[in-house]
């Protein structure tokens, strides 16, 4: 384990906040779920949880020497450099490296996020010169945006578009450049500091709403573990090394299970039934619920997803999509979900 990772509070040592941890793990296993937004008051381990995911993120294969970390598998999309090499008959070499947690500074400009085209260089030489941004670093990794609600709407839109399409497209003065940008988008926010527009909120696959623990025993354990980590980060991390390895192996096994199975009609019908019951618009919620339910089953060693998996993931999929009136706080009723599933 690297020195950097030793200094991160172990993900497996985080007490409570099960909904948040589940949402993060679901996305690590299947980035196609569409990312997660973590909403909660300050001091609820939002940033700690996301950053500590670096300890369990799997390795990914990418083209050796490519600054965009292109996927070597044909059909996944190449940057211009890799595409040109393939067209000229060059065989792309590949290597494996662990996924990283890439953080987006709150002060980042649009150029810093998307990258910049040097127009003057193009005019002088006729060749494109592109300065990669955060979306290039994020390709194949996890992109974390703390206080995402404080970003301007068009910046959030830019991130969500890239996450959904898997491509970052930049155009300046009629000149364009694009490169692959597939990543897991994780945003966190304190609702007291402002909300995100519903149109943008809906585009996050999952949303975990968390609060400070009220149980005395749980709060005591949280404080005790944090103090123990601060006193001896290396020793504390090593004490959880085996649990961390087990969770990393569990993620890898879940990915294998998913790759060898498909969604059956029953789970699709169940997800659609739940979406109709809660009056979801469009089909994004249905699709996300099926994907998340299958991952939840895979994390528990099962190929076939069922009612219990829908019950686990539905709050994460639906809570932020439920219609609400102005100034009304959206709440997801677990009791209604139980009734809904009994009807199916």
Catalytic residue numbers read 284
Residue 256 exposed, middle or buried by CB count within 10 Å (0-12, 13-18, 19+): exposed
Q: Which helix (H) or strand (E) holds 261?
A: none
C-alpha closest to that of 292 among 171, 224, 197, 206: 206
Task: Determine contact, residues 26/292, Cβ cutoff 8 Å.
Answer: yes
Assign residue 147 a region (left: φ > 0; alpha: ψ between -120 and 50; beta: otherwise): left
23 to each of 20, 35, 117, 295, how far by Cα in Å? Answer: 5, 9, 36, 10
Residue 202, both tokens: 């809906």
DSSP assignment letter at 260: T
Task: Determine contact, residues 175/121, Cβ cutoff 8 Å.
Answer: no
């Amino acid at each position: 384990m690297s020195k950097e990772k030793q200094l991160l509070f172990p993900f497996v040592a985080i007490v409570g906040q099960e909904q948040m941890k589940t949402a993060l793990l679901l996305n690590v296993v299947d980035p196609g779920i569409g990312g997660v937004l973590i909403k909660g008051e300050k001091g609820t381990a939002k940033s700690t949880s996301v950053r500590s995911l670096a300890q369990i993120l799997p390795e990914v294969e990418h083209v050796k020497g490519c600054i965009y970390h292109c996927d070597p598998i044909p059909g996944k999309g190449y940057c211009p450099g890799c595409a040109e090499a393939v067209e000229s008959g060059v065989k792309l070499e590949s290597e494996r490296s662990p996924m990283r947690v890439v953080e987006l500074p709150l002060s980042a400009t649009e150029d810093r996020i998307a990258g910049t085209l040097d127009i003057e260089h193009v005019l002088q030489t006729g060749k494109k010169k592109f300065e990669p941004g955060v979306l290039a670093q994020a390709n194949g990794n996890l992109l974390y945006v703390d206080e995402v609600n404080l970003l301007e709407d068009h910046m959030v839109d830019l991130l969500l578009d890239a996450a959904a399409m898997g491509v970052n497209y930049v155009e300046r003065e009629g000149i364009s450049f694009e490169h692959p940008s597939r990543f897991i988008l994780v945003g966190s926010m304190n609702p007291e500091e402002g909300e995100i527009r519903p149109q943008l909120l809906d585009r996050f696959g999952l949303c975990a709403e968390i609060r400070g623990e009220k149980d005395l025993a749980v709060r005591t354990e949280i404080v005790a573990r944090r103090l123990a980590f601060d006193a001896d980060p290396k020793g504390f991390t090593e004490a959880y090394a085996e649990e961390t390895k087990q969770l990393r192996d569990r993620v890898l096994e879940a990915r294998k299970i998913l790759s060898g199975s498909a969604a059956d009609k029953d789970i699709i019908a169940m997800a659609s039934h739940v979406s109709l019951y809660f009056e979801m618009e469009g089909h994004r919620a249905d699709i996300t619920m099926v994907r998340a339910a299958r991952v939840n089953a895979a994390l528990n060693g099962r190929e076939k997803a069922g009612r219990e998996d829908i019950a686990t993931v539905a709050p994460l999929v639906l809570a932020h999509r439920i219609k609400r009136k102005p100034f009304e706080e959206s709440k997801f009723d677990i009791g209604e979900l139980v009734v809904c599933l009994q009807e199916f």
